[in-house]
A = this chain, B = another copy of it.
Amino acid sequence: MVEIELARNVFEENDAIAAEVRRELKKKQIGCVNLISSPGAGKTSLLEKTLQIICSRIECAVIEGDISTPIDRDRLIPYCENVVQVNTDTFGGDCHLSAFMIKNALLKLDLGRIKLLIIENVGNLICPADFDIGENAKVLLISVTEGEDKPLKYPGSFNAADIIIITKTDLLPYLDIKMENLMKNIALVNNKAKILCISSKTGEGLAEWINYLEFAAGGNCQNITAV
């Protein structure tokens, strides 16, 4: 009972800070998306390609979440000058980003200039979905190499997503996965999310994602059907 009570307190405290972050971003008219996936689903590769295109059109910032190392920041810095690395090992090695970490990271950005904030969460298909970090939309990435059953086995994260991006579609010819089964399983746990299919390697599907982000930059992330 003490454990349940404490977990409730942790989430309540997080939610209060997330609301603060959301108010601050709204005031500055900054759209904010939170990228969630397993390790290696291709979040950083997608961001490399995304920033190459979008940074000439919109003032962007990225918060990079990892347990350890500045590897991902270093990959993105060539394409975007506003990248803040958050390493959770300085917060006890947390398996997810929390609103408190985002609030801290925002202090390192010139929010007056930014229109779009992209947060790359820690690679984990379970825990990050439980923590509101003040985003306007949760974007879940699932790579075709992970298998068609994942929506059913990780229903919490799939259900929480506003957008689901199926990544690494260039590998489909070499895999046994059936896309129609993956789509069917996604629909069973979330029939509202917008679904995009993207290969960061070939650029397939990237345009629709960029369109969405340009739309989201005004803070309209949630109303994805309008894109």
Using CB atoms and an 8 Å cutoff, list the residues of chain A in contact with chain B. Answer: 2-3, 6, 10, 38-40, 66-69, 71-72, 93, 95, 122-127, 143, 145-147, 149-150, 152-156, 168, 170-171, 174
Contact = CB atoms under 8 A, between A and B. Distances in A.
A134 B125 CA distance: 25
Contacts of A155: 67-68
Q: Which 10 pairs across A and B sit closest by C-beta, in order of nearness?
A: A40-B146, A95-B126, A145-B145, A38-B38, A38-B39, A39-B125, A40-B147, A69-B152, A71-B149, A66-B153
Nearest to A125: B39
Contacts of A150: 39-40
A67 B156 contact: yes
Contact of A153 (B10, B67, B171): B67
A129 to B, nearest CB: 10
Nearest to A143: B145
A146 B146 CA distance: 10
Given A6-B6, A123-B154, 19 more contacts: A3-B10, A38-B38, A38-B125, A39-B146, A39-B153, A40-B143, A40-B146, A40-B150, A67-B153, A67-B154, A68-B152, A68-B153, A71-B152, A71-B153, A72-B153, A95-B124, A123-B125, A124-B126, A170-B174
A170 B145 CA distance: 12
Contacts of A146: 39-40
User: Chain copies in the assembly?
Assistant: 2
Given A40-B38, A124-B126, A126-B67, A6 B10 contact: no
Nearest to A201: B176
Q: Chain B CB within 10 Å — which of A93, A147, A152 has the most?
A: A147
A150 B40 CA distance: 8
A66 B155 CA distance: 11
A86 to B, nearest CB: 13
Contacts of A2: 6
Contacts of A122: 126
A161 B181 CA distance: 34
A71 B151 CA distance: 12
